[in-house]
Structure 1
Amino acid sequence: MGKTGGYGNMKKVAYNLGYFFREARTLFKIDFFPNIFSIISIGLIFFILALVISGWGISNYIIGIVEKEAEINVYFNDGLQDGEINRLMEDIKRIDGVGKVILVRQDEAYNRMAEILGKEASILELFDDNPFTSFIEVQIQIEEADSILDRLERMEDIDYIRDNKKVIDRLQDIVIILKVLGVLAVIAVGVSTLIVVSHIIRQGIYNNREQINTLELLGAPEFFIGFPFLLEGLFLTLVGGILASLLLILIFKIGYGQMEIALPFIPLPPSESLTINMVFLILAMSGILGIVGSLFGLAKHNINH
């Protein structure tokens, strides 16, 4: 592009804005169907990226909630008396990283399971006696889980310890995988969008080479010739980003409703804030990639030959 001052270019843009938009619209109409297909392709690419990043964010949120509510269940010898149980609970409280320590009696354990089973709770009536035993519910800091479990395993009168550390470890593994996929998706989306937009710009320049030659003979600077092409590339990616945003809003609306019905016990981030953040990210990326892709296409094609 020609070397002119930034202020001068801005004045030219403002003065000729109507002309630039008309030219951009003309460029879009010339390759109407290829541009429509490009918008759809870009929209689907951004939509897939948004799903990957959303999955990453939701997994991080779930792990954060699970870590805050991390608990282990300590089952003790059946023969312990109340005084011995209280002493055991006091010993557990003194372990670093332990929060609340609560005794859950047999009846409460039964009621909890009945609440979890819901309509299927009638299966518990098949037992003549309460099949559950009392246990101690211990809230812990998840980062201290290994040392806490080691201390508990060395305590007397403890028969069995049930913890959710394996579940959290698996969730963290999933988050790592999603992070890798997210980075790869961002790279793939960036590269593919730049290729699509720059190709469209180069094709537009080639199709309009006679008009460009005429403008050059009249003394039009590169900036004046190239700006409509930049607007066209920005328009393609922004419309693609809007299409991806609409698809994402629809998926979130349906998906959240189904999740709340099928898996009501899984904590999910607020759908409104997640949707707003993802839409903002998609539109910001689409705008940036549209401008960069257009500039790349203009740089790769020498307008002045």
Structure 2
Amino acid sequence: MKIILMNINYFLKESLSGFKRSPLLNLASIVSIGLSLLILAVVFVGWWSSEEIITHIQQDAEMAIFYDEELTDEEIANLEEVILNKDGVLGARHVDSEEAYQQMEVMMGDEIEVLAQMGDNPFDPFFSTSVDPDRLPELTDELYQISGVDYVRDNEEIISQFQSLSNMIRYIGVFLTLIVGVTTMIITSQIIRLGILSKESEINMLRLLGAGKGFISLPFVIEGVILGGLGGVFASVLSFGVLSYGQGIITASVPFVPIPNTAEILPAVIFLVIVLGVVFGLVGSLLSLRFTKEERL
């Protein structure tokens, strides 16, 4: 460690010499690593967003109770009272067809024109009911037993769909992490290997002067770390623009889905891609050194 600290300037100078020697090749490598890490960042944000949506939906435990349209006003009022008296029902409010249309108009924005072309109001009246999340499964079965109730729409199906999506994104994320890791390590190892070949005479000189393999290898390890780290920084810059732009498009496309703000997770994403870039670069350089012929180091 003492020798490393005493020669830190030498190690840094030697590790950066590779960038001066082949600037275009190193730039291409950094871009390739950055684009790979960007894909990983997008998948990570997608997984986090789906988990946040699931949590939001679970906390906002509501159900829509649709009833037979043949019921009279008095029967509807009685039905509301029966629903309110159910254990686990925290509140119920009658929503007529006109209000249901207005609610959808707010959520869909300009897309409501598609419904307007249908002519008549396609929405049925219902009871908007807030419930205890812990009582949701049992309460759904109980509500179906009430005379006059046609259909109960709760969040369970939506949660199940988002949970499936979240699991799929998680599996994709693990797979892509392996792919990105292997790709980054291959790129880094090849850059390091080229650096070793180009400095063969200098390495022989150091060996004659008594330098050990660790002393000779360290600049190449630092070079791999810098290469991966710069790829992570490049991915971070791209992530900021891509995620901000992507969130705007998704929010406009599905206004009725509570899309979380990616600004909350962006610092963690930046940290993740830079750390992964450094780690993959480190491993790639070590693998390159490990499989380099002994006489070259």
TM-score range, shorter chain: 0.7 to 0.9
Q: Which AA in structure 1 matches 2:75? A: Q
Find the partner of 1:178 among 163, 169, 172: 169
**Structure 1 residue ranges without an equivalent (≥5):** 1-8
Aligned position for 2:116:
123
The 1:193–1:83 alpha-carbon spacing in structure 2 relative to 1, beyond 3 Å, is: closer
- CA deviation map 1:25-59 (0-9, x unaligned): 22233333322221111111111111111111111
CA–CA separation in structure 2 for the residues paired with 1:24 and 1:99: 66
Aligned position for 2:279:
288
Q: Which AA in structure 1 matches 2:38? A: F
The 1:263–1:70 alpha-carbon spacing in structure 2 relative to 1, beyond 3 Å, is: same
Percent identity, please. Answer: 31
Deviation at 1:194, TM superposition (A): 1.8
Query: How is 1:1-305 mapped onto 2 (pairs within 5 angstroms)?
Result: 9=1, 11-77=2-68, 78-79=71-72, 80-81=74-75, 84-92=78-86, 94-95=87-88, 98-105=89-96, 108-116=99-107, 118=109, 120=112, 123=116, 127=120, 134-140=125-131, 145-304=136-295
Q: Which AA in structure 1 matches 2:81? A: R
The 1:113–1:183 alpha-carbon spacing in structure 2 relative to 1, beyond 3 Å, is: closer
* Alignment check: 8 A CA contact 2:97 2:124 kept: yes
The 1:258–1:107 alpha-carbon spacing in structure 2 relative to 1, beyond 3 Å, is: closer
Q: Which AA in structure 2 matches 1:81? A: E
- CA deviation map 1:85-136 (0-9, x unaligned): 34312343x14xx443333345543543443454547939955xx7755422
Deviation at 1:76, TM superposition (A): 2.9
Deviation at 1:262, TM superposition (A): 4.0
CA–CA separation in structure 2 for the residues paired with 1:59 and 1:246: 23
SS of residue paired to 1:228: helix
Q: Which AA in structure 1 matches 2:79? A: I
- CA deviation map 1:3-44 (0-9, x unaligned): xxxxxx2x2222212111221122233333322221111111
In the superposition, the TM-score normalised over structure 1's length comes to 0.84
* Alignment check: 8 A CA contact 1:53 1:182 kept: yes
Deviation at 1:286, TM superposition (A): 1.0
The 1:113–1:28 alpha-carbon spacing in structure 2 relative to 1, beyond 3 Å, is: closer
CA–CA separation in structure 1 for the residues paired with 2:206 and 2:226: 23
CA–CA separation in structure 2 for the residues paired with 1:36 and 1:234: 14
**Structure 2 residue ranges without an equivalent (≥5):** none
CA–CA separation in structure 2 for the residues paired with 1:131 and 1:245: 46
SS of residue paired to 1:51: helix
Q: Which AA in structure 2 matches 1:172? A: Q
Deviation at 1:295, TM superposition (A): 1.9
SS of residue paired to 1:265: coil
- CA deviation map 1:228-283 (0-9, x unaligned): 11111111111111111111111122223334444443322233222111101001
CA–CA separation in structure 2 for the residues paired with 1:34 and 1:245: 21
Aligned residues: 291
CA–CA separation in structure 1 for the residues paired with 2:105 and 2:198: 71
